[in-house]
Amino acid sequence: MSLADSTKTEALGRLDELPRARLGHAPTPIDAMPNLGARLGRARLYVKRDDCTGLAFGGNKVRQLEFYLGEAVARNADTVLITGAVQSNFVRLAAAAARKLAMDCHIQLEERVPKTDPLYRNSGNVLLDRILGATLHSYAHGEDEAGADRRIREIAAELEAEGRRPYVIPLAPGHAPLGALGYVVAAREIVAQMEADSLAIDEVVVASGSGNTHAGLLFGFRALGCPVTVTGICVRRPAEPQRERIVSRCREIAELLGVKPMVEDGDIRLLDDVLAPGYGQLNAPTIEAIETAARTEALILDPIYTGKAMAGFIRRARQAGPGRSLLFVHTGGTPALFAYGTALAEALSGETADGETAGGEMAGGETAGG
Ligand SMILES: Cc1ncc(COP(=O)(O)O)c(C=O)c1O
């Protein structure tokens, strides 16, 4: 019996008993990245294609939504409510998941990113939210998770008074980490793939935002006895406050699954050196990472999450010794690329369609757009 099979029932506790709506395509492939590997050093590089989870352009939030929407279905809800940044992938996928399950969706967009250009406000995920027919609300602040949750619960109460059966996905921490369970499942999937393909991965690198993906993976690997290092690349807040989130999330996952805590605080690795100038704002390493991934492996990344995570991955790959194997988790986010089209087009190096050289002079550390 394999590691994943032998331990899943006991070590992952109630994981397979909790309500789950099957929304995504899984397992997603693990592909080798030989061209990027040759460019960066002597480590072997791989990518977990969670941008290919299938639903409405895919991404990590599909796995997370399987548990939220599972609970929504179990409660007989007919309307999902969720808050996110203007270009949130989570809210786009919540709207898509709601449609698959014949529900309505209300989205509250908060002002987390200081960008006013029309592309940012109307294209990418916002366009998809509209195509999916979600009802959009706005919240004027970007750093007030508790206030945004209060407001969306008021909207839910109004819907309830009209006879609807709302289900709220909260923004602030402090609720059961249902989303993280999607990445406990993904950790089990990766362990099974490593065994089936005789892959010895030493380090997994992933974007760390709300922390559900990071905490779920780390918890899942440890619960399954897999010693792989998990490095979270901070995309939302600096490493120290993010560490507190991951610590709490890992403890809450253990409580939810009814198993003992599996993650030591010292096991939480975070890098925040590609975060500046802040959430959703471009910088030179991110633009370089977007170009490099596309031009070596035809991997399309986004400016908010996976571009920054790849910038961190590139740094880790350059530092890694020969024979080390690193896995990048591509968490999706591709639609946001189009919302950042103006800033990206200005920043990209190389020839434009009319033969001009476009913005190839960005110096390291300089910011583009935002
Ligand atoms: C494309 C993408 N990657 C990574 C993340 C970060 O995942 P998490 O919030 O679970 O830390 C997000 C969050 O919205 C995302 O949309």
What is residue 142's predicted lDDT score, i.e. its pLDDT? 85
Between CA 252 and CA 246 the distance in angstroms is: 10
60 CA → ligand 1 middle, Å = 7
**If we measure between CA atoms, which residue out of 257, 251, 334, 319 comes closest to residue 59?**
334
DSSP string, 31-78: EE-HHHHHHH-SSEEEEEEGGGS-GGG--HHHHHHHHHHHHHHHTT-S
Nearest residue CA, atom 6 of ligand 1? 209
Can you give the pLDDT at residue 112? Answer: 86
The residue nearest atom 9 of ligand 1, judged by CA position, is: 210
- CATH code for residues 3-58+176-347: 3.40.50.1100
Residue found by looking up tokens 């909207």 in the block: 155
pLDDT above 70 covers a percentage of the chain that reads: 92
Ligand 1 pocket residue status of 332, Cβ below 6 Å: yes
Q: Tell me the CA–centroid distance for residue 56 and ligand 1, in Å.
A: 15
Give the distance from CA 179 to its chain's centroid: 11
What would the DSSP string read from start to end of 118-185?
HHHHHSHHHHHHHHTTPEEEEES-SS-HHHHHHHHHHHHHHHHHTT--EEEE-SSSSS--HHHHHHHH
Report the mean per-residue pLDDT for the chain: 92
Residue 369 pLDDT: 34
CA-59 nearest atom, ligand 1: 1
Would you write out the chain's pLDDT as a tens digit for each of its 370 residues?
A: 455 454 456 899 999 999 999 999 999 999 999 999 999 988 999 999 999 999 999 999 999 999 999 999 999 999 999 999 999 999 999 999 999 999 999 999 999 888 888 999 999 999 999 999 999 999 999 889 999 999 999 999 999 999 999 999 999 988 999 999 999 999 999 999 999 999 999 999 999 999 999 999 999 999 999 999 999 999 999 999 999 999 999 999 999 999 999 999 999 999 999 999 999 999 999 999 999 999 999 999 999 999 999 999 999 999 999 999 999 999 999 999 999 999 999 998 765 545 554 443 333 333 333 3
Q: What would the pLDDT profile of 308-358 be if each residue is shown by its tens digit?
A: 999 999 999 999 999 999 999 999 999 999 999 999 999 987 655 455 544
CATH code, 64-169: 3.40.50.1100
Distances (CA, A) of 98 to 11, 24, 118, 203: 31, 13, 27, 35
DSSP assigned state of 357: B
* Ligand 1 in reach of 84 Cβ (< 6 A): no
Q: Is the CB of 335 under 6 A from ligand 1?
A: no
Per-residue pLDDT reduced to its tens digit, 14-63: 999 999 999 999 999 999 999 999 999 889 999 999 999 999 999 999 99
The whole-number pLDDT of residue 354 equals 55
Q: pLDDT value at position 368?
A: 35
59 lines ligand 1 (CB under 6 A): yes
Distance CA 220, CA 187 (A): 5
Residue 3: predicted pLDDT:
52
What is the per-residue pLDDT for 174?
A: 87
Catalytic residue list: 88
Residue 84 CA, closest ligand 1 atom number = 14
Which of the listed residues 87, 91, 210, 279 should we mutate to test ligand 1's pocket, taking the one with most ligand atoms within 8 A of CB? 210
Residues of the chain with CATH 3.40.50.1100: 3-58+176-347, 64-169
CA of 59 to the centre of ligand 1 (A): 8
Ligand 1 centre distance from Cα of residue 364 (Å): 25
pTM, two decimal places:
0.93
Ligand 1 atom closest to the Cα of residue 183 is 10
- Which ligand 1 atom sits nearest the alpha carbon of residue 89? 16
Cβ–ligand 1 distance for 305 under 6 Å, the answer: yes
90 CB near ligand 1 (under 6 Å): yes
